[in-house]
Amino acid sequence: MILSSGYHTVPPGKLADVQTFLEMREMPALRPCPDAAWNLEYLTQPDLQRYRELVHRVGDDYLWASRLAMSDDELERFLTDPGVEPYLLRSDDGDGGILELDFRVDGECELSLFGVAAPLIKSGAGRWLMNRGIEIAWSHPIDRFWLHTCTLDHPNALAFYRRSGFRPFKREVEVYDDPRAIGITRTDAAPQVPIL
């Protein structure tokens, strides 16, 4: 369905955002970042409570809900799938970022989840984590590395991805249940987005 120009009603309890899909077709030169005080931990045996806590810490301001809405079995199956590589950014202060690489489609990698907790924004941790993601993704036999971001993400997310070497190729409108209204996230999460 193609939306016509103009306004479209979003029902109560729902959210709407604009998703921008971006891709890179070859490994770019990595952008400079600070010497790391961070480590990358590959989650071979994920602790689901720890993972969900980090998703809340990184994503509540942007209403991330896809991993939080999964049952324990679904989330464990996803995180332990041989085609999925989940990583955590670790520092002396504990878990501070998420990097999920999804190789389940032959020849490509989706950056399925990416972000750092609020205290690490503007510290260089996001750049450091993205550089690790680019290196890992392109160490596999892929032709495309892609992601999507939305208008509810950090205001600098789209520009950050473009600086990282991704190029936009598609845009979509997404309508979905407000995770605050259905109890997946705190009701005071993302106060910049009103609950209707």
The three-state DSSP-derived secondary structure of 41-57 is EECCCCCHHHHHHHHHH
Could you tell me the two tokens for 11? 């029902």
89 domain residue, yes or no: yes
Q: What is the mean pLDDT of the chain?
A: 94
107 domain residue, yes or no: yes
Greatest CA span in the chain, whole angstroms?
Answer: 51
Sequence-separated (6 or more) residues with CB below 8 Å from residue 7: none
Could you tell me the two tokens for 30? 């990595």
> Which of 96, 112, 92 has the alpha carbon at shortest distance from 104?
112
Cα separation of 105 and 128, whole Å? 26
182 domain residue, yes or no: no
Residue 1 has pLDDT above 80, yes or no: no
> DSSP class of residue 107?
T
Segment 151-180 mean pLDDT: 96
Among the ranges given (80-84, 93-97, 142-146), the one the predictor scored with the smallest mean pLDDT: 93-97
140 domain residue, yes or no: yes
67 domain residue, yes or no: yes
pTM: 0.94
Segment 180-184 mean pLDDT: 93
CATH classification at residue 127? 3.40.630.30
Residue 3 has pLDDT above 80, yes or no: yes
Could you tell me the two tokens for 97? 């970022």
8 domain residue, yes or no: no
Q: Tell me phi and psi for residue 174, to 5 degrees.
A: -115, 135
Cα separation of 55 and 7, whole Å? 32
Chain segment 9-52, per-residue pLDDT in tens:
999 999 999 999 999 999 999 999 887 789 999 998 889 999 99
Q: What DSSP element (H or E) covers 159?
A: helix 157-163
194 domain residue, yes or no: no
Q: What percent of the chain has pLDDT over 90?
A: 90
> Which of 10, 25, 40 has the alpha carbon at shortest distance from 146?
25
Confidence of residue 102 (pLDDT cuts 50, 70, 90): very high
Structurally, how many domains does the chain consist of?
A: 1
Higher local confidence (pLDDT), 36 or 159? 159
Cα separation of 152 and 176, whole Å? 13
> Residue 159: which domain range?
14-28+38-177
159 domain residue, yes or no: yes
pLDDT at 172: 95
